[in-house]
Every structure is written in structure tokens, then in C-alpha cells.
Amino acid sequence: MRFTSVLTSTISVAILGFASPAGAEAMKSKVSFNNNIGKAAASQPAGGKTVSYQITLKGGELDGCTVDIVESLFGREEGAWGIFDIKGDVKCSGGGFTYTSSGAWDGNGFHAAGAIKDGSGTGKFQGIGGRIAQLGGGASKADGGGFNISYDLVVDSSKT
């Protein structure tokens, strides 16, 4: 029994070691904007819509950085649910990086996940790699029109 417990603990530690690479750093900031700031792209995908936004991140490790986002949305059942793809270019005073993510929404909110583009890091982000997540996403009707969108942008990064 003791051997099984020690073996299980050893395996758990090994798995955690692989799941959390050395040098990994989590960065988290708030995203909040009204989707009326979106500008339609010149070319639109079949069955969807592509828009672009520039958003300033608030709080956390990426406070004050801007993100230029190009988002393609593919609504289904009159927008009751859908799928989206994002390309984001993060620009901070000390450098930046590019990421892509894909996600989905329904009446309960949205979430997405993706990756930092290899070789896209500049300045203090030189050599950055890792994953991206958009968590806790929600939308509420805005008084002035459109929807107020909010979520946490989480960067699970590593340096190569």
C-alpha cells in the first residue's frame, strides 16, 4: 500500500512538472469595451462577420498595453450561440507579441483559448511562447447601443 502511495505521489509530481514548464509566468488583465467600436473588415467571410477593435488592457501585468484585435464571428440559430476566431497583436511600452485564439458563446457567456505565435515576441517579450485564454466572458446590452463586452485575458507564457 505504501509503495502505491509513493508511486502515485511521484507520478503526480512528474505530471505537474510537465504541466508547468520552468520559467512559466501567468499574466492576467481585464478586457472591457463596447462592441460598437468595431470596424467591419473590407472582406467578410461566408456565413460570418469580421471586425477589428483596438482595446486598452486594464489592471494586472499587462495594464496599459493595447491589443489590436481582428475577430471573425460565426453566429448560429439567430445568434443564440456561435464560434469566433481572434488574432490579437499586444503592444506594450516594453515590447509585444501576437496570439490567435478560438472560442464559443451562448446565452451563458463565452470563453476561448489559443497560443502565442512563435517568434512574434519583441522587446521584453522576445522569445515568449505559451497559451492564451479569454475567461469569464460576458456581454450586456449598452444604453447607447451595442453590447458591453468583458473578459479576463490570461497569458500562460514561457520564455524559450
In CATH, what is the architecture of 22-159? Beta Barrel (2.40)
Is 40 a residue whose pLDDT tops 60? Answer: yes
Cα dihedral: 50, 52, 56, 57 (round 10): 20
> How many other CB atoms sit within 10 Å of the CB of residue 131?
17
The values of phi and psi at residue 87, to 5°, are -120, 125
* Domain segments of the chain as ranges: 22-159
Which amino acid is present at 92? C
* pLDDT tens per residue across span 99-153: 999 999 998 999 999 999 999 999 999 999 999 999 999 999 999 889 999 999 9
Q: Whole-prediction pTM value? A: 0.81
Which amino acid is present at 125? F
